[in-house]
Amino acid sequence: MKLSIVIPVYNESATICEVIKRVDEVTGEKEVIIVDDCSTDGTRILLEKYEKREGFEIIYQTKNRGKGAALRAGFKIAKGEIVIIQDADLEYNPKDYPVLLEPILDKRADVVYGSRFLGGPHRVLFFWHYLGNMCLTTLSNMLTNVNLSDMETGYKVFRRKILESITLKSNRFGFEPEFTSKVAQKNFVIYEVPISYSGRDYSAGKKINWKDGVAALWFIFRFRFFD
């Protein structure tokens, strides 16, 4: 099956080339769709050399709109039977693709979440981030009646046909609870697998913050009851 690897990127000049290198090393039929969300740190200049490479599509957003909007732009042109979301910050390793893909290739799953909390190796970082993630995941589980361990994970893999039956609206990090709510309500088969996680701190460019956590609370309720 052909993979569509969608990479949203905003101000990741320090990591984007290494991420692309790791993705490029993944074997099998694939297309790489990179959506630059109006970066201002030189990321765009680095992406120019990939514009004419076979199997690469580069989209340049004219305005910074957030991860969710960037993903929608990438999804719109994706042609693969399976879509993989790949962050551009080196926190997630493409070497985990075989584990992520297995439940779909075996026809057991429609959607696979790569969980940072199921025993894979991970960098030890912030307790309060972990607690916040657990609270958001628990609330999401309560309202969707699924038992995920890591709703906010960046590694979400799914059959492209899913995009034909849900309408995504969130522009920023609200994509995570929105996607989870909508695939759960549609009764798609969801699997979780353990992944490695090399989390970074704010000095290394981490962007999500407490405001996004508060917003996620609203999105969890919104996409369960009001959308």
Structural domains of the chain sorted by starting position, each given as residue range(s) with its CATH number in brackets: 3-226 (3.90.550.10)
Q: What is the rounded CA–CA span in Å between residue 20 and residue 78?
A: 17
What's residue 98's pLDDT?
97
Which among 37, 42, 56, 75 has a CA at the least distance from the CA of 207? 37
Q: What is the mean pLDDT of residues 151-161?
A: 96
What's residue 33's pLDDT?
98
Identity (one letter) of the amino acid at 190? I
Confidence band of 22 (pLDDT split at 50, 70, 90): very high
Q: What is the mean pLDDT of residues 113-117?
A: 94
Q: Show the tokens assigned to 99.
A: 């584990």
> Who has greater pLDDT, 123 or 5?
5
pLDDT of 204 above 90: no
Pairing of strands 30-36, 3-9: parallel
Q: What is the rounded CA–CA span in Å between residue 187 and residue 25?
A: 34
Confidence band of 226 (pLDDT split at 50, 70, 90): confident
